[in-house]
Structure 1
């Protein structure tokens, strides 16, 4: 358990006042960052990709996570697997971060060669007594949930990933994300701590003032609001919001589409929340005109108004609509640097320029990601100012920040910090 000036990571967090933000040192200290990576990114399930990253046998995706690195591969039997990106000879990295396609995994140092099943197939000059069966690649626990890839870098992975699987598999089934392709993807480096990036994503207090593209497709009441002293106009808008939600929920329920909110945010290892939200305007998709960006809908759907099935975990947020999905996840790089990776998925048969215009598909979240990067950066800067004192969360628009903070504290305690 590391400490600076005698204050441990856990003790620092426990100095936080309930209902308030975290102390600035939790965002800026190197020892806290290293603990965070070890606990929250090496010992918990994290999103690390989508099956569309490895669509065909031989496709590989290497992902760096702190000092660790993994290789996600689709093998010759069409199974998605994950291995440590470490040669079993002298430890060289097998692949640089990124994607590609291979017949075998060949170490660039001494050419030890592995099959896509992880088995060592060739190692020259090792002698007749060498047993290659003892030098297979080290597997990484992996779970594919509705086309989303989750991995855990701890051999004893939390078993409550089953709850996420049981909840999301039927919700994502109508969209058949296994039959999608990546239309576009971006990597953004946000100049802020990963927890600030997550906090920013967990509240929409800021949305109406900073996200003009995103708010086109959201009903304002979904951002959260203070019910005290509502005007007559606001009361009418709230009644209309509730009526529209009820009608949409009834329509989806009639077709067997799961929509109600499911939250596992307390006393769990694998945190997540999901809900199907009504889309504003034309009600079809998160686009500037709120109509579908792709006329080739996901799965075998013919109905366009399927809302926004969102999912968030402690390192990801996803929005799945009738025509496309936007999948984002983050990986911490330094106390003040966070990689945010976003992938826009469309049906595998959708054709750019025929079924969709790329600019229409990516416009909303490309703008939103850039705006969020700026917000996280100024937030991080402020938390490192000597004058920073954590302020109170809004109970109406920032309740999930408090719950994330409590979960974070619980997981620190579970790992003895």
Structure 2
């Protein structure tokens, strides 16, 4: 009989600087634990404030078996609840986006206010206490227009650390006063960790992303200096000089650009503003702005691209003319949702200020290319011949930090669980 290693054993024997063992990508019990430990107990990115711009606007987000209802109230505050009626469990809102007044369950008419309080429940009798049957809240925080939720009873307490560090970077782009120009869901045929690892490096960019490498220079994501010939050394030096010059100019404008990285925190994050090629304005094929009306109160378009990464499930790019956000949500051990949103100034008009195809071309192409690579990799790690391979210390450092974060968070949970269990009780799934 084949004895499979426990999740705890797989985590303990992970070799630093190498990819994970196959079962951590492929096994169903690992996936279930990922959903419980990572996606139910950490702050996860789910959307942007422009998803719910006006009072009564709401959206639903599916996190594994949980449906979360996110609603903008009359006070303009955003609230999050489990999307489950407290009567007999019916889903309250079934659309991804809607505009509602009170929250009314279509099954028996139980009615909730914007704070989740139960306002009306017919035929329940005079002794029924409505105050005991409000919607179950979900932790929600916003960061400069980005929406994060946590399904745990107690959320990690370091969100403020991320917010204080990153708000000065994202804030000038005024995301709250933008609008969603386009939203696109792509299902990748691979494990969510492979999706995240693929995003955390640009080692693969030159040979796989012809559109993205027009505005985005791979030098910004690392290179091996000893492997460069004279031409490429001069090219790298030119890039570093351009980055230094642009950073000085951006700093004078009140736009932080220096790398800030705390990827190993419970709420891990990283941000950096990088110079773009050519005109230096946007992620477009001609490197010029895609939207004529700039975001916020910007008067210059050549502000490079601010990149912001969070553990465990997002990355974002903010430019002077538009922003692009990415949410990763696991669906199965071998299926992952990547939801991409393009944001422009709320007063920008399609056909006048921007051409939608031009706005989304670079990242729709890049997303599909990445999805193909993730599928190739998942197929490979599923084969008996697979064994963890070494990362490049020059270009895959952020992949290593993602794996370190994942192993640390999972290991801490299993240790805490072991300390709570009676002696002899099983700790990890087989």
Query: Counterparts of 1:128-147 in structure 2 under 5 Å?
Result: 128-147=126-145
Instruction: Indicate which of 83, 99, 102 corresponds to 2:100.
Output: 102
Answer whether contact 1:48 1:63 (CA < 8 A) is retained. yes
Secondary structure in 1 aligned to 2:38? helix
RMSD: 1.1
- 2:270 aligned partner: 273
- Superposed CA deviations along residues 254-305 of structure 1, whole A, max 9, x for unmatched, are 1221110111122x20011110111111000111111000010000111111
Secondary structure in 1 aligned to 2:393? coil
- 1:304 aligned partner: 301
CA distance in 2: counterparts of 1:5 and 1:136, whole angstroms: 47
CA distance in 2: counterparts of 1:235 and 1:293, whole angstroms: 31
Which deviates further from its counterpart, 29-38 or 224-233? 224-233
- 1:86 aligned partner: 84
CA distance in 2: counterparts of 1:97 and 1:286, whole angstroms: 31
CA distance in 1: counterparts of 2:18 and 2:289, whole angstroms: 40
Answer whether contact 1:194 1:330 (CA < 8 A) is retained. yes
Query: Counterparts of 1:248-263 in structure 2 under 5 Å?
Result: 248-263=246-261
CA distance in 1: counterparts of 2:52 and 2:153, whole angstroms: 23
Q: TM-score, normalised by structure 1?
A: 0.97
Instruction: Indicate which of 222, 235, 238 corresponds to 1:237.
Output: 235
Secondary structure in 1 aligned to 2:400? helix
Shift of 1:97: 5.0
- 1:126 aligned partner: 124
Shift of 1:321: 0.4
- 1:289 aligned partner: 286
Shift of 1:223: 3.3
Structure 2 stretches lacking a partner, 5+ long: 416-430
CA distance in 2: counterparts of 1:316 and 1:332, whole angstroms: 12
CA distance in 2: counterparts of 1:97 and 1:170, whole angstroms: 34
Query: Counterparts of 1:11-410 in structure 2 under 5 Å?
Result: 11-266=9-264, 268-313=265-310, 314-410=312-408
Answer whether contact 1:207 1:223 (CA < 8 A) is retained. no
Secondary structure in 2 aligned to 1:379? helix
Shift of 1:10: 2.1
Shift of 1:229: 4.0
